[in-house]
Amino acid sequence: MALFVALGSSGHAATTVGRNSVGSSALRPRAVLTTHLGFALGSAGTTRTSALTINPGSTQTLIDNTGNRRGSTGPLFGSATVVVTNTGSAPAVVTLRFVLDGRVQPATATASVSPGATETVPGFAHNCCDRPGRYRLELQASVQGAPITVGSRTLAVQLLPAS
């Protein structure tokens, strides 16, 4: 019996609540969070596919993203994924890092790539800042041991609501 009541109630709601009838004016503040939605709010991503060679002992910017927080004081998260090929005869150690507005951020991701191998350096995320205004977030790579060629690389920036 309870099953029929539940199914009947959802059918009634589907027929009496109009499309797009619930908006921001009908919701309490913080009633719907990113964790409820299953996707990020304010997400902006950039992908580059052109080949880029990085020699051992050097650091290069692979990709960047510039935007405006427009008064938001929630966290700004950056995440990245990079495909690299070791073009040398020795193992290559690749380290990724974020640089926000010229300041190196503490989060890094490191991968060792065998000679001739192609690897996807694992994506990582970092809460870069929680201040409003314009930002420039760069993804940089440094290499030790052997030269690499960087292929596809993606940098995503997510502006989350303040907690």
pLDDT per residue over 61-90, tens digit each?
Answer: 998 888 776 666 667 778 888 999 999 999
Q: Which two tokens stand for residue 31?
A: 């009633």
Q: Looking at the domain 41-159, which fold is it?
A: Jelly Rolls (2.60.120)
Interatomic CA distance for residues 77 and 67, integer angstroms: 13
For residue 138, the one-letter residue type is: E
Structure pTM?
0.68
For the chain, the structural domain boundaries read 41-159
Average pLDDT, the chain: 74
Question: How many CB atoms are located within 10 Å of the residue 157 CB?
Answer: 22
Interatomic CA distance for residues 30 and 41, integer angstroms: 13
Q: Which two tokens stand for residue 29?
A: 């503040």
Task: Answer whether residue 54 shows pLDDT above 70.
Answer: yes
Interatomic CA distance for residues 150 and 103, integer angstroms: 23
Nearest to 147 by CA among 74, 85, 73: 85
pLDDT per residue over 24-50, tens digit each?
Answer: 444 455 544 444 433 344 456 788 889
State the DSSP string of the chain.
-HHHHHHHHHHHHHHHSPTT---GGGS-TTSS-HHHHTS-SSEEEEEE-S-EEE-TT-EEEEEEEEEE-TT--S-EEEEEEEEEEE-SSS-EEEEEEEEETTEEEEEEEEEEE-TT-EEEEEEEEEEEE---SEEEEEEEEEEESS-EEEEEEEEEEEEPPP-
